[in-house]
């Protein structure tokens, strides 16, 4: 039996090796874990929309410091900002969705082969007329082939996605960064001004030492709150900067996403993003 089986097994092994050489090894598998991790943490960062809530609430907080005859103007400002809310959240949502899609495309677990592979094994059995053990072996090899082909296709899809999206993605992220730094940051500076003007005026008008001390404490408390918010703004701007730079690196290296230097750099960006996001959530 062994004499009859050996040439057959040899022939089948040769066939498998030929096929692997033809399709598998020549194409190579791509380590997309770094891309996946970077995309996932970027998507999680984009979920953070507390700064938008604060922007919406700014006119209401101003009412605390400004006389009633200015409240109508602040209310009009609040209404105008409310009309921007959906568009602002859309920026976050689009970055999140895009990064989720990129991460999912780069994820290995996307292909659940269990059922389909069992069907393929049956096909192979019929085609090759092998023994059960060999059929099982072919099934496993088919899995390797499936991954090799899937990887190649997946890599091309990711390359195309990054290439097609980089320009609009950079515009959206940089526009959001501008809104965060100049807009939300500008609000913080205006709020700090309002706090100082309000409390300094009250203090200058007062001759009660205990009252002045209390006012100074409240001023400090309010200013500290704004300072904490400004820290969050700066941290979030850094997150957007890293997302932008990371995607640009992927774009620049899109023709060789398995390049070690690129993988290391993207891994570093993902870790830094994770650290900043974690620090923001603690504020």
Partner 1 sequence: MPLTAQEAFELSKQFRDLANTLADRRFSSWSTLTPTQRRDMEDEEWSLLNSSSDMITKAVGLALDESDASIDSIKKSIKKAKSAIKKLEKVSQIITIAAAAVGLGAAIVSKDPGAIAKNAKLVLDSTKVLSA
- Supply the minimum distance, in Å, between the C-beta of residue 73 and partner 1: 6
Q: Which of 201, 206, 261, 264 binds partner 1 (CB under 8 A)?
A: 201
- 153: contact with partner 1 by CB under 8 A: yes
- Supply the minimum distance, in Å, between the C-beta of residue 164 and partner 1: 5
Pick the piece of the chain touching partner 1 (CB under 8 A) from 101-109, 221-229, 241-249, 269-277. 101-109
Q: Tell me whether residue 207 or residue 278 sits nearer to partner 1 (CB atom).
A: 207
Tokens of 143: 């899995």
H helices of the chain, where?
2-19, 26-27, 33-46, 50-62, 71-105, 114-128, 132-178, 185-205, 209-252, 260-282
Residues 6+ away with beta carbon under 8 Å from 27: 148, 149, 151, 152
Do 58 and 81 touch, CB atoms closer than 8 A?
Answer: yes
- 157: contact with partner 1 by CB under 8 A: yes
- 94: contact with partner 1 by CB under 8 A: yes
Q: What is the DSSP letter of 24?
A: I
Do 135 and 117 touch, CB atoms closer than 8 A?
Answer: no
Size of the site for partner 1 (CB under 8 A): 78
Tokens of 120: 């393929």
Cα distances (angstroms) measured from residue 283 to each of 57, 231, 233, 237: 18, 8, 11, 15
- 53: contact with partner 1 by CB under 8 A: no
Q: Which of 47, 57, 75, 116 binds partner 1 (CB under 8 A)?
A: 116
Q: Tell me whether residue 212 or residue 272 sits nearer to partner 1 (CB atom).
A: 212
Cα distances (angstroms) measured from residue 84 to each of 76, 87, 178: 13, 5, 15
Q: Which of residues 219-278 bind partner 1 (CB under 8 A)?
A: none
Q: Tell me whether residue 157 or residue 264 sits nearer to partner 1 (CB atom).
A: 157
- 74: contact with partner 1 by CB under 8 A: yes
Q: Which of 47, 97, 252, 256 binds partner 1 (CB under 8 A)?
A: 97
């Amino acid at each position: 039996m062994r004499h009859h089986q050996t040439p057959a097994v040899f022939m089948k092994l040769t066939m498998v090796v030929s096929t692997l050489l033809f399709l598998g090894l020549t194409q190579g598998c791509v380590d997309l874990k770094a891309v996946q991790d970077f995309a996932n943490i970027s998507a999680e960062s984009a979920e953070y929309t507390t700064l938008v809530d604060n922007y919406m609430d700014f006119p209401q907080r101003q009412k605390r410091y400004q006389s009633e005859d200015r409240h109508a103007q602040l209310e009009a400002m609040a209404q105008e900002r409310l009309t921007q809310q959906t568009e602002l959240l859309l920026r976050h949502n689009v970055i999140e969705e895009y990064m989720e899609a990129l991460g999912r495309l780069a994820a290995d677990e996307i292909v659940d082969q269990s059922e389909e592979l069992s069907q393929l094994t049956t096909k192979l059995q019929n085609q090759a007329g092998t023994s059960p053990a060999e059929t099982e072996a072919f099934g496993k090899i088919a899995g390797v082939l499936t991954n090799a082909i899937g990887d190649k296709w997946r890599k091309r899809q990711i390359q195309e996605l990054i290439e097609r999206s980089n320009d609009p993605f950079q515009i959206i992220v940089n526009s959001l960064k501008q809104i965060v730094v100049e807009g939300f940051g500008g609000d913080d500076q205006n709020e700090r001004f309002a706090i100082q003007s309000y409390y300094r005026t009250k203090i200058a008008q007062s001759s009660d030492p205990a009252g002045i001390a209390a006012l100074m404490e409240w001023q400090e408390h309010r200013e500290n709150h704004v300072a904490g918010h400004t820290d969050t703004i700066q941290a979030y701007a850094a997150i957007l900067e890293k997302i932008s730079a990371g995607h640009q690196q992927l774009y620049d290296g899109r023709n060789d996403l398995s390049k070690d230097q690129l993988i290391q750099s993207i891994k570093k960006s993902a870790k830094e993003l994770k650290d900043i996001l974690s620090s923001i959530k603690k504020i």
